[in-house]
Structure 1
Amino acid sequence: MQNETVKYLQLLSEKYPTIQAASTAIINLSALLQLPKGTEHFLSDIHGEYEAFQHVVRNGAGSIWRKIEEMFGNTMSKSERRNLATLIYYPELKTPMMLQSVADRDEWSRLTLVRLAKFCRRLSAKYRRETVRRFLPPHVAEAIEELLYDQEGVEHKAAYYQSQIDMIVSTGSAQTFIISLAELIQRLAVERLHVIGDIYDRGPGAHLILDSLMEYHQVDIQWGNHDILWMGAAAGSEPCIANVIRTCLRYGNMETLENGYGVSLLPLASFALETYKDDPCELFIPKVSPDEKFTSQEIRLMAQMQKAMAIMQFKIESQVIKRRPHYQMDDRLLLDKIDYERGVVQLNGVDYPLLDTFFPTIDPKAPDALTPEEQQVMDKLRLSFVNSKKLQQHVRFLFSNGSLYLIHDGNLLYHGCIAMEENGEFKSFNVDGKSFKGKEFLDRVDRLARQGYFATDNPEVKQYGMDAMWFLWCAPQSPLFGKEKMATFERYFLADKVTHAEKRNAYYTLRDTEESATKILREFGLDPNTGRIINGHVPVKVSKGERPIKANGKLLVIDGGFSKAYQRETGIAGYTLIANSRGMLLAAHQPFHSTQKAVSEEVDIDSETEIIHTHPFRMCVRDTDRGREIQRKIDDLQALLHAYREGVIKEHSVC
C-alpha cells in the first residue's frame, strides 16, 4: 500500500476503529443502495410568497394527495380524504379544530392515529429505520417506531398495538402524536428539495422562506438574480444595497427588509423628506395592490425615498461601470448623457425628453459623485445590512448550500441562462486577455461571488467580488440576468416605451431547440441522451399557449409564476417538477388563496400533473449520485477491512 493510502485509512479507522465496526458499516451501506430512490422536488422563482411556498412543501406538490387517493380511495369518502390531507398539511392548526367539532373525540383520535400510522408505514418503506428515527421528536420516537413497524397479520400482536393506541388517547397525548405523525409524513414525502433561484423580492416573506429552508432536512439552491442581489447587499456592496432598497420601495414591500432583517430606513427617510420635500415624485409612486393598507402620507414618503435611492443607485452604478471597463456596460452611463438645462437625455444619438427634471443632488460637472449627505446615508445603510445577524445567517446558508449551477443525477440545474450568440455558439467574456464562456465562465463568477463575501482579509479582492455580484444582477452577459440591459432609468424617466425594451439573450430562443440543449449538456460533461436541463427565471406564459417542456423534452422551465404579480401574465401559479423512483412528473399549480382558507375550508392547491418521463426500471439509490458516493465509501471501508486483516492498520481499543 502507498503511504498516502495508509494515511487516509488510518484517518478512516478513527471513525471505524474495529473490524466489526467497518463490517457493520459496509452491511448497512450496501443495503441502503437497494432502497428505491427518494422523491425529489424542484421549485423555482418563489419570490417571497411564503404561504404558497409552505403549502407546496407541506403537500409535497400534490404527491401526498395522490398517495391518499391510492391508499384510501376505496375506503374513505372524498370529504374524509380531503379532511385527512388538510390534517397532514396543517396538523398544528387542523387537529384542535377537529377535536372541537367531532362528536366523539377519543374515537376520532384512534381512527386518525391508525390512518396516519398506516400512511406513514407506506412512505417509510423507502428509508432506513435510522433515518426515520432521526426525523422524529425524541419524546415520541420510541412509541411512533412501534406504530410504524406494526407487523400486520402477525398473531398476538393486534392487542399490543391496539393497547398502544388506546393509551395514547387515554393519556391525552393524541394531539401530540397526530402532529408528529403528520410532520413525519411531510418529511418522508420529499427526500430532497431543489430551489432553482429567486427566493427574494416581490412577496413579503423571503426571510420566512429562508428560515424554513434552513430547517429543511435536505436542500440545495441555485442562485437567482434576485438572490445574488441580496447576497451582494449582505456583503456590503453599495450598488446591490441601492437596488435592494429601491426595489422594495417600488413595490411597497418592506416586510423582509425592516421586520425580517431589521434594516433601518430612517436615514434614507430623513434625507428624502428634506431633499424632495417640495417634489411630488409622481414617477415613483409605489406599485402596491389595493389590499395594502398604506396611508397617502406613507405612499408619498415611499415615493420620495424611492427617488432618492434611485438617484444614488444610478450614481454608484456609474462608478462601478467606470471601475470595471471589461463589463462592457458603458451604454448604462446615462447621467452624463443628460442635458440638465434642456431636460433631455441622449440615447443612441436621439434626444428624449425627461418626465422628471428635478435633480437637486446631481452636479452636471460630476454627475456620478454622491453628495456628502448621500454618502452618509449609504454608509449608514451599509452598516445596517452588514450588521444584520439574521441576514448574514441566511446569506451564509445560501453560499454553503447554493451555487450558480448544480449537476445532479445526470441533470443540469440553473436559474437563468448560458449566454449564447445568435449562431448558437457560447458567448465569450474577456478578462485581462483571457476568454471565458460556458461552464468555465459560470465557475469563474461563482468563485468571484464567494470572494466578494468571504475575502474580508483582502479589500481589493473583496471589492472585485462584490462588483461581480452586482454584475450578476444586471449585466448583459450575466448568466442570471440574460438581457442586453436593465432599463431602470428609462422606465422611470422616459415616456417612449421603445426605450423600455430589454432584449433577451439569444439563449431564450435557442433553448427551444434540441441542438442547443444538447450542446449545453455536453458543455457540462453530461449525456444528452439521458440528461435534462432544469431551468427557471422566465415565467411560462401558459395563458398564451407556451409550454414548459422544450427541446424535445431535454429542457424543462419550471417558473410558472409563484409570485402573484406574474399570475395574470402566466395564467397559473407555478410549476413543480417531481422526480421519484419511477420517473418525472410536472405539476402545474393554480393560485393559492391563504393558509386560513386551506385549513378552515380544506381548499388545496389544484394541480395538474403530466408524466414527462418513465424510467425503464424502478430507480434505486445505487443508480443516483448519492448511490455512487455511498459505493465509494463502501470501497474505502473494504480497503480498511483488508488493511485490518492484513495487519497494516491495528484495531483501536474500544472502552
Structure 2
Amino acid sequence: MKDLEARYLERLSQLYPTIAKASTEIINLQAILNLPKGTEHFLTDIHGEYEAFSHVLKNGSGAVRRKIDEVFGNTMSSKDKKTLATLIYYPREKMELIKKKEENMEDWYKITLYRLIEICKRTSSKYSRSKVRKALPPEFAYVIEELITEKADVLDKESYYNSIVDTIIRIKRSEEFIVALSELIQRLTVDHLHIVGDIYDRGPGPHIIMDKLMGYHSMDIQWGNHDVLWMGAAAGQQGCVANVVRICARYANLEILEDGYGINLLPLATFALNTYRDDPCSCFELKDDPDYDPSETMLNMKMHKAISIIQFKIEGQIIKKNPGFKLEHRNLLHLIDYEKGLIELNGKTYELLDKNFPTIDPKRPYALTEAEEEVLDRLTQAFVNCEKLQSHMHFLLSKGGLYKVYNNNLLYHGCIPLNEDGSFKSVKIYGRSYKGKALYEVLESYVRKGFYAIDEKERKRGKDMMWYIWLSENSPLFGKDKMATFERYFLAEKETHKEKKNPYYEFLENDKVVDRILKEFGLEHSFSHIINGHMPVKSKNGENPMKCGGKVFVIDGGFSRAYQKQTGIAGYTLIYNSYGMILSAHEPFESKESAIENETDIHSDTIVTEIVSKRQSVLDTDVGKELVEQIHDLEFLLEAYRSGRIAERL
C-alpha cells in the first residue's frame, strides 16, 4: 500500500475502529441513498422585505399547504386546512386568537395534535431516523419520536397514542407541544435553502433576515451586487460605505443603520444641516412615501444629498487610483460648469436640476472638504467596528460565494459577461485577463482577500474590488454599461438614465449560448439548469421567468416592494423536490397580522415546470455522490481489516 493510502486508512480506522462499526456505517449510508431526494427552496432578490421573506420561509412557497392536502385530501374542509396552515406558520399567535373564540379548548388541542402528528409523519418519512432525530426540539424529542414512529410491536396502537396525547393535554403542555410540532414541520418541509443574491437594500429589514438565516438548518447564498456592497462597507471600503448610506437614505431606511446595526449617523446629520441648511434638496426626495413628519423628511433629504456628493467625490478618487478599472468615463464632477449649472455628456449639454454645490471646489472637484472627510472617516470606523454587521458579513463569507453548482443546477445572481456575438467576454483584473468561470472565481477570491489577506496591498485590492463588483459593466453581478446614479439625480432627460444591459440578457433564449455557459461550469446534462435573479421579470408585460425551453429560470419577480409596480407580482420562488421543479409566482404579502387573523396566505400561482420520469432519490444528488465515495472508502477499510493490513482497534 502506498504511504498516503496507509495514513488515510489509519485515520479512517480511528472513526470506525472495528469491522462491525465500519459495516454498520456502510449499511446506514446505503439506506440513506435510497430515500427520496430532499426538497430545495430557491429565493432571490429579497431586498430587506423581512415579513414576506419570513412568511415564504414558513410556508415553503406552498409546500406546507401541499403536505396538508396530501395527508387530508377531501377529509378536511378548505377552511380547516387554511386554519391548520396558519397555525403551522404562526403557532403562538394563532393559538391566542383561537383561545378567544373556542369554547372547548381541550377538544381543539386533541384534534389539532393528531392532525399535526399526521403531517409530521408525512414530512419526516423521506428522511433517515438519524436526520429526523437531529431536527427534533430537545424538550420534546423523545415524545415526538414515539408519536411519529410506527410501532409494529404495539398491539393497540390507538390506545398507545391516545395515552400520550391525553397526558400532554392533562399536564398542560399542549400549546408548547403544538409550537414544537409546527416548527418541526417547517423545518422538515424544506431540506435545503438557496438564496440567489441581494438580501440587502431597499426594504426595511435585511438585518432581521440575516439573523433568521444564521439560525437556518441548511443553506447557501450566492452573493448579489447589493450584498457585496455591504461586505465592502463592512471591510472599510469608503466608496461602498457612501453607497450603503446613500441607498438607506434614499429608501428612508436609515433606521437599518441606526437601530439595526447601531451605526451613529449624528455626524452626517449635523454636517448635512449645517451645509445644506437653506437648500430644499428637491432632487433627493425619498422613495416609497415614508410615514415621516415634514421636519424628519427634510433632514433625511439633506443627509441624502450630503452623502451623495461625498460618494461622487470618493468614487472619483477610487477611479483615479485604479486606472485598470477603466471607469474614467464615470467621473463626471469635472465636466460641470458650476457657474452656469450645465454639464456636457457625450457631446451634448444638459442643464442640472440642482446647481447648489457648496462643498465642491471647481478646480479640485473630487477633493473632500475637511468636514466631509471627517464624516466619511467616522462612518467607515462605525461600519468596521460594528460587531453585529461583522458577524453578518462573515456569515455571508462562510455560507456564500459568487456561484454554486448544486444537483445539476448552476446558481448565480447576475450574468456571465458576454460579447455581442455571445462568446465569453475577457475582463482584465489587476493586469490579468479572465472570462467565464475563471472571472467568477478570481472576483470571489478578491472579495475574500478584502477581509482575510495578510498582505496589505492585496487586502486593499480586495476592498476596492468589492466596489468594482458593485458597479462595473464587466462585473457579473451588475451587467450594465453604467450605473447612472448621478444622471438620475441631476438630469431630467431620460436618455441619460438609460443603463444598457450586457448581451447576456439577449442570449437567454439561445440554446448554444446557454449550453456553452452550463458546460463552462461542468454541466452538460439535458436536465441541467441556470437559476439566477437580479433582473426583475416583468410578468405584467407577459415576460416569462422560464427561458430557453426551461433551461434558465430568472426568479427575480419583485420580492422588493420597490419593484412590484414594474413586475406586477411580488416575486418568484422555485421548489425542487423528488418529483421535479415547481415555480411559484407570488402576490404581494399584506402583513403578518392579516396572515394570522384572516388566514391570508401569500396567494401563489404555481407551475409544475419539470416532472422527472422516476422519483429522484438521495443517490441522484450531490450528497448522494459524496455518500457513494464514503461507502467506497469504508469498503476499502473493510478489505484492509480482513486482509490483516490494518488491525481492528478493539
How big is each residue's C-alpha offset from its partner over 1:428-481, in whole Å with a ceiling of 9 and x where there is no partner?
A: 1124653211111111101011101222x3221111001110111100111000
Quick one: which amino acid aligns to residue 414 of structure 1? Y
The residue number in structure 2 matching 1:177 is 177
From 396, 399, 404, the equivalent of 2:397 is 399
SS in 1 for 2:146: helix
Aligned-pair Cα RMSD in Å: 1.4
Inter-partner Cα distance in structure 2 for 1:622 and 1:295: 59
Equivalent residues in 2 for 1:408-447 (5 A)? 408-431=406-429, 434-447=432-445
Residues 1:293 and 2:296 aligned together: no
Worse-matched range after superposition: 183-192 or 630-639: 630-639
The residue number in structure 2 matching 1:90 is 90
SS in 1 for 2:27: helix
Alpha carbons 2:288, 2:562 under 8 Å: kept: no
**Superposition deviation, residue 225 in structure 1:** 0.8
Alpha carbons 1:559, 1:575 under 8 Å: kept: yes
Inter-partner Cα distance in structure 1 for 2:476 and 2:569: 26
Equivalent residues in 2 for 1:208-227 (5 A)? 208-227=208-227
The residue number in structure 2 matching 1:481 is 478
Inter-partner Cα distance in structure 1 for 2:320 and 2:18: 63
Alpha carbons 2:124, 2:188 under 8 Å: kept: yes
How big is each residue's C-alpha offset from its partner over 1:351-393, in whole Å with a ceiling of 9 and x where there is no partner?
A: 2111112112112222111112111111111111011111111
Give aligned-pair identity as a percent: 53
The residue number in structure 1 matching 2:31 is 31
Quick one: which amino acid aligns to residue 360 of structure 1? P
Residues 1:379 and 2:377 aligned together: yes
How big is each residue's C-alpha offset from its partner over 1:79-128, in whole Å with a ceiling of 9 and x where there is no partner?
A: 11111111111112112322332121111101111111011101111111
The residue number in structure 2 matching 1:192 is 192
Alpha carbons 2:23, 2:638 under 8 Å: kept: yes
Quick one: which amino acid aligns to residue 159 of structure 1? S
The residue number in structure 2 matching 1:118 is 118
Equivalent residues in 2 for 1:318-333 (5 A)? 318-333=316-331
Inter-partner Cα distance in structure 2 for 1:255 and 1:219: 28
Inter-partner Cα distance in structure 2 for 1:382 and 1:320: 15
**Superposition deviation, residue 139 in structure 1:** 1.5
The residue number in structure 2 matching 1:145 is 145
How big is each residue's C-alpha offset from its partner over 1:16-59, in whole Å with a ceiling of 9 and x where there is no partner?
A: 23322222221111110010001111111111111101111101
**Superposition deviation, residue 153 in structure 1:** 11
**Superposition deviation, residue 414 in structure 1:** 0.5
SS in 2 for 1:73: helix
Inter-partner Cα distance in structure 1 for 2:567 and 2:440: 29
The residue number in structure 2 matching 1:635 is 632
The residue number in structure 2 matching 1:81 is 81
The residue number in structure 2 matching 1:390 is 388
**Superposition deviation, residue 599 in structure 1:** 0.4
Residues 1:165 and 2:165 aligned together: yes
SS in 2 for 1:477: coil
Quick one: which amino acid aligns to residue 256 of structure 1? I
**Superposition deviation, residue 646 in structure 1:** 2.9
Alpha carbons 2:324, 2:431 under 8 Å: kept: no
The residue number in structure 2 matching 1:525 is 522
The residue number in structure 1 matching 2:468 is 471
The residue number in structure 2 matching 1:349 is 347
Quick one: which amino acid aligns to residue 307 of structure 1? K
Worse-matched range after superposition: 15-24 or 575-584: 15-24
Inter-partner Cα distance in structure 1 for 2:646 and 2:152: 47
Quick one: which amino acid aligns to residue 524 of structure 1? F
How big is each residue's C-alpha offset from its partner over 1:397-422, in whole Å with a ceiling of 9 and x where there is no partner?
A: 11111111100111100110001111
**Superposition deviation, residue 168 in structure 1:** 0.4
Inter-partner Cα distance in structure 1 for 2:255 and 2:90: 24
Inter-partner Cα distance in structure 2 for 1:267 and 1:20: 68
How big is each residue's C-alpha offset from its partner over 1:570-592, in whole Å with a ceiling of 9 and x where there is no partner?
A: 11111111100011111111111
How big is each residue's C-alpha offset from its partner over 1:281-314, in whole Å with a ceiling of 9 and x where there is no partner?
A: 111121232xx32111111111111111111111
Quick one: which amino acid aligns to residue 601 of structure 1? N
Distance 1:547 1:461, change over 3 A: same
The residue number in structure 1 matching 2:580 is 583
Equivalent residues in 2 for 1:268-347 (5 A)? 268-289=268-289, 292-347=290-345
**Superposition deviation, residue 157 in structure 1:** 2.5
Alpha carbons 2:71, 2:118 under 8 Å: kept: no
Inter-partner Cα distance in structure 2 for 1:650 and 1:94: 59
SS in 2 for 1:420: coil
Inter-partner Cα distance in structure 1 for 2:413 and 2:430: 27
The residue number in structure 1 matching 2:100 is 100
SS in 2 for 1:116: helix
Inter-partner Cα distance in structure 2 for 1:513 and 1:27: 46
Worse-matched range after superposition: 7-16 or 394-403: 7-16
Worse-matched range after superposition: 463-472 or 507-516: 507-516
From 356, 359, 367, the equivalent of 1:358 is 356
**Superposition deviation, residue 134 in structure 1:** 1.3
How big is each residue's C-alpha offset from its partner over 1:579-619, in whole Å with a ceiling of 9 and x where there is no partner?
A: 00011111111111011000011111111111111111110
SS in 2 for 1:11: helix
SS in 2 for 1:453: helix
**Superposition deviation, residue 640 in structure 1:** 2.1
Alpha carbons 2:137, 2:184 under 8 Å: kept: no
Inter-partner Cα distance in structure 1 for 2:477 and 2:38: 30
Alpha carbons 1:484, 1:502 under 8 Å: kept: yes
Quick one: which amino acid aligns to residue 279 of structure 2? D
**Superposition deviation, residue 271 in structure 1:** 1.1
Q: What TM-score comes out, normalization by structure 1 length?
A: 0.97
**Superposition deviation, residue 154 in structure 1:** 5.7
Inter-partner Cα distance in structure 1 for 2:543 and 2:397: 33
SS in 1 for 2:125: helix
SS in 2 for 1:126: coil
Q: What TM-score comes out, normalization by structure 2 length?
A: 0.98
Alpha carbons 1:528, 1:554 under 8 Å: kept: no
Inter-partner Cα distance in structure 2 for 1:370 and 1:18: 70
Inter-partner Cα distance in structure 2 for 1:560 and 1:605: 14
Inter-partner Cα distance in structure 2 for 1:62 and 1:258: 35
Alpha carbons 1:150, 1:161 under 8 Å: kept: no
Q: Which sections of structure 1, spanning at least 5 residues, go unmatched?
A: none
Inter-partner Cα distance in structure 1 for 2:538 and 2:107: 49
How big is each residue's C-alpha offset from its partner over 1:229-251, in whole Å with a ceiling of 9 and x where there is no partner?
A: 10111111100000000000011
Equivalent residues in 2 for 1:520-599 (5 A)? 520-599=517-596
Quick one: which amino acid aligns to residue 116 of structure 1? L
Alpha carbons 1:513, 1:552 under 8 Å: kept: no
SS in 2 for 1:41: strand
Inter-partner Cα distance in structure 2 for 1:547 and 1:44: 16
Q: Which sections of structure 2, spanning at least 5 residues, go unmatched?
A: none
**Superposition deviation, residue 558 in structure 1:** 0.6
**Superposition deviation, residue 528 in structure 1:** 4.8
Residues 1:206 and 2:221 aligned together: no
**Superposition deviation, residue 257 in structure 1:** 1.6
The residue number in structure 2 matching 1:450 is 448
- Paired residues, number: 650
Worse-matched range after superposition: 113-122 or 316-325: 316-325
The residue number in structure 1 matching 2:254 is 254
